[in-house]
Structure 1
Amino acid sequence: MSSCSGPEDAKVVIIGSGFAGLAAASALVKGGFKNVLVLEAKDRVGGRVNTTKPFTENIIEVGANWIHGQKGNPLFKMAKEKNLLSEGPSASINMCLPRSVSSRDYFFKEDGKPVPEKIVDQVSSRFSKLTDKAFDDKLSPKHKDLTLGAYLDDAFGASPLAATEDGQQVFEWCKRTECTDEACSSLYEVSASQISNYTALEGGFFNTLGPGGYRAILDVLLKDVPSEAIKCSAPVKSIRWDLAKEGQRYPVQVVCENGQSFEADHVIVTVSLGVLKEQATSLFEPGLPQNKLNAIKNLGFGVVDKIFLYFEKSFWPDNCAGVQMVWKEGPENKDVNKALSEGDAWKKTWFKKITGFDTVARHPTALCGWITGREALYMEKLQDSEIGDTCLRLLRSFTGWSVPAVSKMLISRWGSDSHVRGSYTFVPDGVDGVAAHKALASPLPPKDKSRGKRQLQVLFAGEATHVNFYTTTHGAYLTGIREAERLINYYTN
């Protein structure tokens, strides 16, 4: 039991105000904790959720976009109860993943010719069945030890579709879109067997929020947390723990970059895996246990960026949900997917990682391009004007349509953001994902009866700490609830 008499006396500092941090804060306040403080490095709450209005009075989601799945999803339940979901299919951004291809997606080859719809349907359907096998843990023994890319190549190669030029080109497009789903540079760095640990909840995978966007769900959580309990623009420099053995009254001290320090009985760290990769060895004093450092190092944390193009008038057909770009098959195109080539030649063709441009919810004259991996990180260093010119060139050359100049642009740069350093987690080939997620989630100090009152000083939450729901907002939310309940139980049991 803590030296505090109860939760009303315990000081808890939460680092990060994304879904994990706000879920933890909300649950603790409702659980009777009176001294809860949230420190946020950015000048806004939300973390990788960033709902903004750059073009019109309607929102754009720069970060998290959908609620993935319905059954058992606490965010879907919350959004439905509060009437925060959109109505009708027209209100969603398409993000044309292979499993969601429809007749409203216009596929074009590099030479400007359309790809036959029949080929697109056949290949994307075959691709989805192959990826479903991996997610459902139904891989054959010969495929279990392969990377996701190698497995897909081998399995698709057995199909007659692989013998056709169009079929192979659409297959390569499918692999690029899957890179966006996995937040990786290449499917050849992702474990084929480990992704079966990810659990896809039943119900629509892309549940779109209404006009309030994801910010509306954050606001539901914020209602439970006193406004004075959240400090923005307060990046943390160090977390000193196990101070009780030095005779200090509180076992943890959090020091911000501006020199402010806060004493605490417990600290919940919800920063991204990207931040941990960059700062783990300097952020904690004493240093983290080796198993936790290994987990931080071994798990993957990729970059997924969006390129929003706003036009004065739309130039695409009314029934068009997006323009998808299918590149010629060949060594150069293979490099786009493998992303394993040495040197800098790939930087000249970074734009080949853009899978296409999809229509945008509530913005009839806007398109959104998706790009991932090292190409996305490279793009982030370029000027908006160069990125915009490149996107216009692609749209014009692939479609042959009369594409006007861009009126406004908004480009995410999650990899360059020092407070995030990426988008979401994936499990690389050769890594035991379950063990890594669990190690990342384990509290400090390690469980030891001899420590007595010094338990649960530093706790960890965030999507990267969830074994089955990593990459998702509901995963982040649930880990925040998990750590809050850990503390609540600590004081009540």
Structure 2
Amino acid sequence: MNRIHTAKIVVIGAGFAGIAAAATLFEAGFQHVQVLEAMGRVGGRVYTMRPFGSDIIELGANWIHGQEGNPLFELGKEHGLLSEGHSASTKMCLPGSITPCDYFFKEDGRLLQAEDVEQVCALFSRLTTRAFDSELEDRHCCLSLGDYLDNAFAESPLAATEDGLKVFEWCKRCECTDEASSSLYEVSASQISHYEALEGGFFNSLGPGGYQAFIDVLLRKLPAGVIMTNTPVAHIEWALDESGKRSTHPVQIVCEHGQSFEADHVIVTVSLGVLKQRAALMFRPPLPNSKMAAIDKLEIGTVDKIYLCFPERFWPEDCAGIQLVWDNGPEDAAVYTSELEGEAWKETWFKKICGFDTVARHPNVLCGWITGREALHMETLEDVEVGDVCMRLLRSFTGWPVPEVSQVLISRWGRDPYVRGSYTFVPQGVLAEEHGALVAPLPPEPSSDDRKPLQVLFAGEATHVNFYTTTHGAYLTGIREAQRLINLYT
């Protein structure tokens, strides 16, 4: 009998990585594949909802990161899952402009001149591009991303202006959202060059089915009953040799509700946040020191969204976003350093909100973004309290007659017990090669002893050294681990 037909594989997690792995295995002829999902839904960090009517809201993944060479962009084109869209870009304007663009307000209510904002944002983009393109000067290579940007910006005439400095701090807050960090002083300036940005920018015009439509395409490739939701895994027993009690299927997955599954291989696609919290007790025997070190060194940050649904639109038609430029923001180096030891930042958590963007297909909805420790603190607050704070910000910065918000929807990825964060970043002092240690299968192939190889495999965005943080990175890692097993059996 064909070995593929008898091999038993369990996939833990039904996000992009897990579903892609299962679909690839079935397409290759594997017949005994089971997907265990702790949540009551599939999708993982993809979470498409319809809380404000028939049109979708993305509580999780929002963009396709790049177009050229992106398998999810190609999947979207093939199945008609994309709307006519554009790459995300920041546009600044003054009232009366025809093209929708962002309004930048200072804390005193003054609207900043578009050309002044554009100059700072353009410089910030050039400086970050140098880091991503490995073009840093030697003196900057050992610095954090925040320190590098501060040093480089200080050499520009724009740093001599008060407004230039404040817009620069706004840019750093926005970059924290991209990096999922509490501060850019936590992020390595040199190691972000390992991240590969695909050409085409952020494609932010998904079709009316949102990201869930992509998940649905993959789900159609799976037989009925393959995915078991509400099935959190307690621990994984692996590395049994040929004399063990389960010599035929040397891996046992034990779930919190008592179910157990025997397998030849298990593909673990849980988030880095879950691994950080549970890896020490989840695997029996424990994971090798190199893998535990990688889990410890790499970081996962929290990025949350705050959706505000108003009874009517109060912003101008040409306004694509209301951006908040603080006098003394949380990304100021001195402020960040002085608050490291205390908790004063909790009183001003809202200063980490970059602004409020308009939302496609929702003419009366705004979306605020918040990241890092401030996001985690925000998650402890009630929706109504967060909504009240956001209304006060909008009123005080713009001076516009902002109505009472009718609905508030908040993501809480940091507190979700089955996620514990949004996506991965490489902290200062850590090498991006740790992604490689995280992905190494156990035992490796060929096995150095009598144990069956590839008993435990790892996938998910945190395991991709070039595409971490992205949906296509997660998707590709699921295919990668499935192909590793396909190669073993063929």
Pairwise TM-score range, normalised by the shorter structure: over 0.9
Partner amino acid, structure 1, of 2:390: C
Partner amino acid, structure 1, of 2:485: L
Partner amino acid, structure 1, of 2:456: V
| Whole-Å separation in 2 of the counterparts to 1:338 and 1:235 | 39
| Residue in structure 2 matching 1:204, options 173, 185, 201 | 201
Q: Contact (CA 8 Å) 1:254, 1:261: kept in 2 or not? A: yes
3-state secondary structure, aligned to 1:307: strand
| Residue in structure 2 matching 1:62, options 52, 59, 63 | 59
Deviation at 1:119, TM superposition (A): 1.1
3-state secondary structure, aligned to 1:485: helix
Is 1:440 the counterpart of 2:430 in the alignment? no
- Point out the more displaced range, 145-154 or 341-350: 341-350
3-state secondary structure, aligned to 2:5: coil
| Whole-Å separation in 1 of the counterparts to 2:458 and 2:309 | 39
Q: Contact (CA 8 Å) 2:356, 2:368: kept in 1 or not? A: yes
Aligned partner of 1:310 in structure 2 is 309
Partner amino acid, structure 2, of 1:349: T
Residues 330/255 of structure 1: CA separation in 2 closer, same or farther (3 Å cut):
closer
Deviation at 1:452, TM superposition (A): 4.5
Partner amino acid, structure 2, of 1:26: A
Deviation at 1:10, TM superposition (A): 0.5
Residues 334/326 of structure 1: CA separation in 2 closer, same or farther (3 Å cut):
farther
| Whole-Å separation in 1 of the counterparts to 2:240 and 2:250 | 4
Residues 15/449 of structure 1: CA separation in 2 closer, same or farther (3 Å cut):
closer
Residues 49/151 of structure 1: CA separation in 2 closer, same or farther (3 Å cut):
same
Aligned partner of 1:218 in structure 2 is 215
- Unaligned runs of at least 5 residues, structure 2: 94-100
Aligned partner of 2:452 in structure 1 is 454
Q: Contact (CA 8 Å) 1:6, 1:491: kept in 2 or not? A: yes
Deviation at 1:331, TM superposition (A): 8.7
Residues 40/200 of structure 1: CA separation in 2 closer, same or farther (3 Å cut):
same
Is 1:101 the counterpart of 2:79 in the alignment? no
Aligned partner of 1:362 in structure 2 is 361
Equivalenced residue count is 481
Q: Contact (CA 8 Å) 2:240, 2:451: kept in 1 or not? A: no
| Residue in structure 1 matching 2:186, options 170, 189, 195 | 189
| Whole-Å separation in 2 of the counterparts to 1:331 and 1:227 | 49
Residues 487/447 of structure 1: CA separation in 2 closer, same or farther (3 Å cut):
closer
Aligned partner of 1:261 in structure 2 is 260
Structure 1 residues 132-156: Cα deviation after superposition (integer angstroms, max 9, x where no partner): 0000000000001100000000000
3-state secondary structure, aligned to 1:390: helix
1:290-301 equivalences in 2 (<5 Å):
290-301=289-300
Deviation at 1:250, TM superposition (A): 1.2
Residues 28/196 of structure 1: CA separation in 2 closer, same or farther (3 Å cut):
same
Residues 261/330 of structure 1: CA separation in 2 closer, same or farther (3 Å cut):
closer
Residues 149/61 of structure 1: CA separation in 2 closer, same or farther (3 Å cut):
same
| Whole-Å separation in 2 of the counterparts to 1:273 and 1:363 | 33
TM-score (norm 2): 0.96
Residues 318/337 of structure 1: CA separation in 2 closer, same or farther (3 Å cut):
farther
TM-score (norm 1): 0.95
Deviation at 1:164, TM superposition (A): 0.4
Q: Contact (CA 8 Å) 1:190, 1:429: kept in 2 or not? A: yes
| Whole-Å separation in 1 of the counterparts to 2:116 and 2:7 | 62
Aligned partner of 2:376 in structure 1 is 377
Residues 270/335 of structure 1: CA separation in 2 closer, same or farther (3 Å cut):
farther
Q: Percent identity?
A: 64
Partner amino acid, structure 2, of 1:470: Y
| Whole-Å separation in 2 of the counterparts to 1:301 and 1:40 | 20
Deviation at 1:334, TM superposition (A): 4.6
Deviation at 1:336, TM superposition (A): 6.2
| Whole-Å separation in 2 of the counterparts to 1:218 and 1:483 | 18
| Whole-Å separation in 2 of the counterparts to 1:53 and 1:450 | 52
Residues 341/256 of structure 1: CA separation in 2 closer, same or farther (3 Å cut):
same
Partner amino acid, structure 2, of 1:68: H
Q: Contact (CA 8 Å) 2:330, 2:336: kept in 1 or not? A: no
Deviation at 1:117, TM superposition (A): 1.1
Residues 229/360 of structure 1: CA separation in 2 closer, same or farther (3 Å cut):
same
| Residue in structure 1 matching 2:27, options 23, 27, 30 | 30
- Point out the more displaced range, 46-55 or 438-447: 438-447
3-state secondary structure, aligned to 1:450: coil
Partner amino acid, structure 2, of 1:475: G
Aligned partner of 1:347 in structure 2 is 346
3-state secondary structure, aligned to 2:211: helix
| Whole-Å separation in 1 of the counterparts to 2:336 and 2:403 | 30
Task: Provide the aligned C-alpha RMSD in A.
Answer: 1.6
1:11-30 equivalences in 2 (<5 Å):
11-30=8-27
Deviation at 1:366, TM superposition (A): 0.1
Q: Contact (CA 8 Å) 1:238, 1:285: kept in 2 or not? A: yes
3-state secondary structure, aligned to 1:106: strand
Aligned partner of 1:250 in structure 2 is 249
| Whole-Å separation in 2 of the counterparts to 1:294 and 1:101 | 42
Structure 1 residues 230-261: Cα deviation after superposition (integer angstroms, max 9, x where no partner): 00000000000012442313110001100000
Q: Contact (CA 8 Å) 2:241, 2:450: kept in 1 or not? A: no
Q: Contact (CA 8 Å) 2:443, 2:455: kept in 1 or not? A: yes
3-state secondary structure, aligned to 1:213: coil
Deviation at 1:450, TM superposition (A): 3.4
| Whole-Å separation in 2 of the counterparts to 1:313 and 1:177 | 27
| Whole-Å separation in 1 of the counterparts to 2:253 and 2:4 | 20
Q: Contact (CA 8 Å) 1:335, 1:346: kept in 2 or not? A: no
Partner amino acid, structure 2, of 1:156: F
Deviation at 1:445, TM superposition (A): 1.5
Is 1:53 the counterpart of 2:43 in the alignment? no
Deviation at 1:337, TM superposition (A): 5.5
Deviation at 1:116, TM superposition (A): 1.4
3-state secondary structure, aligned to 1:433: coil
Partner amino acid, structure 1, of 2:481: E
Deviation at 1:304, TM superposition (A): 0.1
Aligned partner of 1:122 in structure 2 is 119
Structure 1 residues 30-66: Cα deviation after superposition (integer angstroms, max 9, x where no partner): 0000001000000000000000101110000000001
Partner amino acid, structure 2, of 1:461: A
Residues 252/31 of structure 1: CA separation in 2 closer, same or farther (3 Å cut):
same
Q: Contact (CA 8 Å) 1:335, 1:341: kept in 2 or not? A: no
Is 1:40 the counterpart of 2:37 in the alignment? yes
Partner amino acid, structure 2, of 1:12: I
Where has structure 1 moved over 4 Å in runs of 4 or more?
330-340
Aligned partner of 1:79 in structure 2 is 76
Residues 384/335 of structure 1: CA separation in 2 closer, same or farther (3 Å cut):
farther
Q: Contact (CA 8 Å) 1:109, 1:398: kept in 2 or not? A: yes
Structure 1 residues 373-418: Cα deviation after superposition (integer angstroms, max 9, x where no partner): 0000000000111101000000000000000001111100000000
1:123-202 equivalences in 2 (<5 Å):
123-202=120-199
3-state secondary structure, aligned to 2:3: coil
Q: Contact (CA 8 Å) 2:249, 2:264: kept in 1 or not? A: yes
3-state secondary structure, aligned to 1:368: strand
Aligned partner of 1:409 in structure 2 is 408
1:385-400 equivalences in 2 (<5 Å):
385-400=384-399
3-state secondary structure, aligned to 1:25: helix
